[in-house]
Each structure stands twice: as structure tokens, then as C-alpha cells.
Amino acid sequence: MNETLANLSIAAALAALFALALVALRLRRARREFKQEVTTWKSRLDLDLKQARKDRNQLLDALDEGFLLVDSDATILFANKAAQQLFRGRELVGLSVQEAFLDRRMTEALTGCLETGEASNSRIILPQQASPLGDLEQRGVNAWVIDAARVPGSPKENPTTRVVIRDVTSEHQTEQIRKDFVANASHELRTPLAIINGYLENLLDDGLLEDPAITRRFLSVMRKHSERIARIVEDMLVISRLESGEAAALTVKPFKVRSCIQDVLERLELVIQNQQAHIVIEMPDEKLILQGDRFYWTQVLFNLVENALKQNPRKGLTVTIGCVRENGVTRIWIADNGIGIPSADLAHIFRRFYRVEKHHSQDDIKGTGLGLSIVKRAIEAHGGTISVTSTPGDDTRFTIEIPLDAEARLTDTDSEESLPAS
């Protein structure tokens, strides 16, 4: 009996050991499967995270603006392609913002956000030598907007700041041009208005109306200056129209260049006769047709020929007007053998209100200073370019070039605009 109980106890113990071994085996297998599953999930999470980062980077690289992620130590964690190009292809990740920006003014624009967490938006104006573009900067004074803010949800102990860098140089320069234009226009209008008011006061307050000779002389001066005001206003309206839409401001139709030249010479006939100027026309093909807005081309040729005559009041000036079409380009030139343009002025003569003062007396009524600016804008609206060279006393030459494909584009654009709406 005792032996049977002992055998049963041994059997029970063996069964318990077997069951325990079986449980241990299952636990080991479960643990192995769990580890494999965890590894699989980690791999999936890593792949998902890499894909998410790749998608994020592709999205941010598609931005035209520079984009940075910066940690609490002002170290750059991420920089998109636009930012790398902006900083001349340098590897920005791992650099501090001080090392990346170099110029203190750009760094200070975002340090406030890094220190306090408050969003900031700063506009920075830099000289050419301080631009992030370095030697690639050719625009002179450049402008940037630094937009910084904390990334929502980033940890408080080590917050991440996103920084957007926008190049607003074009907008800044346009705004400066507008301000300069308003200031110069105000100055140009103020002078003739002051002269007119002065003569009116003399006529009215000093009782000079009873003297016909003085009255006529005063009225003659006032008329000249009122005509100058009218021309300034007219020229400003022309520039405004061109700059508001350029090609959209044109009425494109084919016209003969020779006929346009003839119209200009007829308008300037009295000046040409008084100066005993010689006009030479060089046109191998006098039937040459140009696609464009004849009104603006008349303005262009008139301003250039008149400018040559006004800047050279001596007798016997020769002005040459030429036009030829070759190698896919229509080339027009206006040249004279007058006193020329100083080399220091050549780079500036197309600026608004810029004048080359060489011989004018105090009694002369100056031009508006807008003629050559109108010429340049009108030619650019037609897809062309203008250049100038000058050898004083020999040859001062304005050369206009209009590619034939630019003429074709103007014709196509004008045809599309004339189609009725469907």
C-alpha cells in the first residue's frame, strides 16, 4: 500500500514537472513570439517614421522660402533645400543660428522667440555685402523677413522653433522705386508751380497787369511751365499704364516702321529746321512691318530723336535712324555725332527723372526726365531690349532689339484677348 502511494506521488510529481516544463516551454515560445512581434512593430514604426520624415522633407523642400527647425540651444535640426540654396549650399544641420546667419541683425530677429517662446516677424534690410547669398548677391540692398514661432506640441524642456526666411528684396526695391518716384514727381511739379505762383503774385500784387509788355512776358513764362507740368503728368500716366500691366497695356497691330519714323520727323520738323540738323535714314527694307503698339513705338522714336536734338543744340548735327531685320531680330538704332554722354552717366540714363546736365542755362525749360524711362519700359513691354554706347563727338547710339518670337507672342496674346468669351 505504501509502495503504491509512493508510486502515485512520484507519478504526480513527474506530471507536475512535465506540466511545469510544458508551461515554461510555452512561456518561452510566447516570449520569443512577443519579441518578434515587438521587433516587427518597431521596424514598422521606424519605416513609418522614416516615410513620415521623407514626406515632411519633400513637402518642406517644395517651399520657395527657407525653412529651419531650431532647438532650444539655437542649433539647427532641419533645413529645407531653399534654405540650403539661400546659404550657398552650406550644410546647415548641426550649426548654430549664429554660425548660419553670420550677420547679427538676422540672428537677433529670432533670438527673442528662442528665449521667450513668443512668435516674432521681423523685416531685415541688409547691404549687398551682408546678404546671406554672399558673392552671389548682385541686387545691392536686399530685404528679408524672418518669421519665427514655437512648434505646437514640442516638449517644454527642449522646445523646437520653426523659422521661415522670405526674400522680399523685389518688393522692397519696388516700394523704394515708388517712394522715390513720388518724391521726385513732387519735386519736379513743385518747381514750375512755384514759378507760376510767383509770376501770378507779381502780376496781381504789383499792378503789372496794366503793362502789356511785362504781362505778355510773364504769361509766356507761365505758359512754358504749365506745359512742362502737363507733360510731366502725361509722362507719369504713360509709365503708370506700362507698369500696371505692360503687355496688357498694348494694342498690338502690324505697322510700317518707315511710316512711324516719318510721323516722328514731321512732329520735330521745326526743331530740325531751326538746328539745321541732318537726318539720315538707313533702312534696307523700307516696307518692313513691325508687330506692336504704334502709339508706344512713336513715343519711343520721338523721345530718342528729340533727346538727340535737345542734348546737342549746335547747328549741323547729324542724326541717323536705322532699322534692319536679321538673324531673327529686328534692330532699330538712333545715333548722333553730338557731344555724347559721359561714361559715368551711361548706367543711369534710363532711371526716372535722371538727367545728364551738360549745357543747359538757367533760362532753359528742362525736360521731364521721364523720356528715356518711358522708352525702356515701352520696349520691355514689347519683349525687347535697349542699350546705349557713346563716344563723345563721334557717335552716341541707342540700339533696340526685338526678337521675332517676342513679336509673335504679342500677336498671339492680342489674338487670345480679342476672342469672344465662350
Residue 224 in any domain: the answer is yes
Last residue of a domain, one of 248, 268, 292: 248
**Cα gap 387→134, rounded to integer Å:** 29
Residue 10 in any domain: the answer is no
pLDDT at 222 over 80: yes
At 178-191, the pLDDT tens digits run: 776 677 677 677 87
Regarding whether 308 and 411 lie in a shared domain, the answer is yes
Mean pLDDT of 52-69: 74
Mean pLDDT of 281-291: 89
Among 117-126, 308-317, 319-328, the range scoring the smallest mean pLDDT is: 117-126
Regarding whether 289 and 229 lie in a shared domain, the answer is no
Q: In angstroms, what CA-CA distances link 381 with 85, 337, 386, 399, 410?
A: 31, 29, 12, 16, 9
Burial of 188 (0-12, 13-18, 19+ CB in 10 A): buried
Last residue of a domain, one of 167, 194, 224: 167
Residue 47 in any domain: the answer is no
**Cα gap 165→305, rounded to integer Å:** 47
Model confidence pTM above 0.85: no
Range of the domain at 135: 61-167
The enclosing domain of 147 has a CATH number of: 3.30.450.20
Cell numbers given for 243: 507698369
Regarding whether 286 and 140 lie in a shared domain, the answer is no
Q: Binning pLDDT at 50, 70 and 90, where does residue 366 land?
A: low
Q: Structurally, how many domains does the chain consist of?
A: 3
Cell numbers given for 321: 535712324
The enclosing domain of 399 has a CATH number of: 3.30.565.10
Regarding whether 323 and 224 lie in a shared domain, the answer is no
pLDDT at 353 over 70: no
pLDDT at 48 over 50: yes
Residue 373 in any domain: the answer is yes
3-state secondary structure of 52: helix
Regarding whether 174 and 162 lie in a shared domain, the answer is no
Last residue of a domain, one of 248, 265, 299: 248
User: CB–CB of 141/172 below 8 Å?
Assistant: yes
pLDDT winner (highest mean) among 84-93, 104-113, 188-197, 268-277:
268-277
Q: What is the pLDDT of residue 262?
A: 92
Regarding whether 327 and 188 lie in a shared domain, the answer is no
pLDDT at 224 over 90: no
Regarding whether 178 and 96 lie in a shared domain, the answer is no
Mapped to the 3 state alphabet, what secondary structure does 32-52 carry? HHHHHHHHHHHHHHHHHHHHH
**Cα gap 308→301, rounded to integer Å:** 11
Regarding whether 422 and 284 lie in a shared domain, the answer is yes
Regarding whether 263 and 394 lie in a shared domain, the answer is yes
Regarding whether 390 and 332 lie in a shared domain, the answer is yes
Q: What is the pLDDT of residue 420?
A: 41
Regarding whether 134 and 207 lie in a shared domain, the answer is no
User: CB–CB of 283/259 below 8 Å?
Assistant: no
Residue 109 in any domain: the answer is yes
Q: What is the pLDDT of residue 324?
A: 92
Question: Which runs of E-coded beta strand occur in 168-265?
Answer: 253-256
Residue 24 in any domain: the answer is no
pLDDT at 359 over 50: no
